[in-house]
Structure 1
Amino acid sequence: MPAFPRAELDEMVDRWLAENERCEHAGDWRPLALMYTEDATYGWNVGPEQDFMAVGRDEIRDIALGQEMEGLEGWRYPYQKIIVDDRQGEVIGLWKQLAEATRPDGTAYEVPGIGGSWFRYGGNGMWSWQRDFFDFGNVSAVYLEMIKNDALSDGMKKRIERATSGQRIPGYFRRGQAPVAIW
């Protein structure tokens, strides 16, 4: 892992945060794909039996930032803390997951716990990989609460229908069978 100048990594993080916020407000995260190398990978674990992995900028754009963010328009992921390791060229960003919908008491639906993204910098203002981590059980509990309270957007309803259809969804692999390992 090459070392990178701290100023270069800090500038990358600043650009990332600004573009992430812009995409969040637009409800379209696909433009973030331009911030990854052509051969970048982006993955996360989906419980004990399944991983998600997108390989290459096109899959990151179309699947990780497109398909996987569909229905989450209006959700916010504010970064709470950023840790930069310039010796390894890696960044960890810790974020919250907040829905646009609110509970009957007026509070936002929020996934409890800590969510985060671990990035490896590839130089030239681009990430070479990203690995997300979050508590899938907490995400499921918030979605279930939203279902019970009839607080799902139409897009979220479609997400859940897709996930429960029994059909293979691009990017999802049995644990250990993804084209690139999480680690």
Structure 2
Amino acid sequence: MGRFARAEVQQALDNYNAVVDKCSDTGDWSPFADLFTEDVHYVEHAYGVFDNREDVRKWIVDVMAPFPQMRFEYDWVAFDDDNDAVVIGIQNVLYHPTEPGVKFGFPNVTRLVYAGNGLFSSEEDTYNPARDAPSVVGAWVQAGGTMLCAPKVAMKHVVMNGN
């Protein structure tokens, strides 16, 4: 058993989800960073590593600027009680601009480690947006979706083909 009860980790995850949903609803991603400790270790396989809350804040605001209403829908959740961690299968989703229920998305696996006081001390996102995002975002744009600006953040690690 880890340092925290599953119920406390679940409550923090429920809050995480509520904040992410609100960020998607409002297009303001700044509050996302407040889900983490000040010394968070955030590993983003495409964009790099961030070791503090304010770097996460700058990155998330900038990376979400072109499509701030992107949603993050769960496929599954697994708890690692020994390490106070949660692993989540997520779809990064853009909704069709005119056809309700039609979605454009690609998979992501996220691991969060809970640190207490409702905050997470780490997040690691494992996915391949260099491979998956161009076709998904391209199809969304072709369907009438509009990016609000050009991308503000360049990927640091690009793997086009791979497992």
Distance 2:16 2:92 in 1: 17
1:52 aligned to which of 34, 48, 52: 48
**1:179 paired residue number:** none
Superposed displacement of residue 71, structure 1? 1.1
**1:69 paired residue number:** 64
2:137 is aligned with 1:143: yes
Cα pair 2:67 2:147 within 8 Å, conserved: no
Offset from partner CA, 1:23-56 (integer Å, 9 cap, x none)? 111112210211100100222222xxxx522220
Structure 2 spans left out of the alignment, 5+ residues: 159-163
Larger gyration radius, structure 1 or structure 2: 1
Distance 1:2 1:107 in 2: 39
Cα pair 2:44 2:126 within 8 Å, conserved: yes
2:116 is aligned with 1:123: yes
| Aligned-residue CA RMSD (Å) | 2.6
Distance 1:28 1:152 in 2: 19
**1:4 paired residue number:** 4
Report the TM-score, using the length of structure 2 for normalisation: 0.80
**2:161 paired residue number:** none
Superposed displacement of residue 125, structure 1? 1.2
Offset from partner CA, 1:138-170 (integer Å, 9 cap, x none)? 2122233345x2735242x511xx56xxxxx5x
% of aligned pairs identical? 20
**1:111 paired residue number:** 105
Structure 1 spans left out of the alignment, 5+ residues: 164-168, 176-183
**What's the secondary structure of 1:78's corresponding residue?**
strand
Superposed displacement of residue 59, structure 1? 0.7
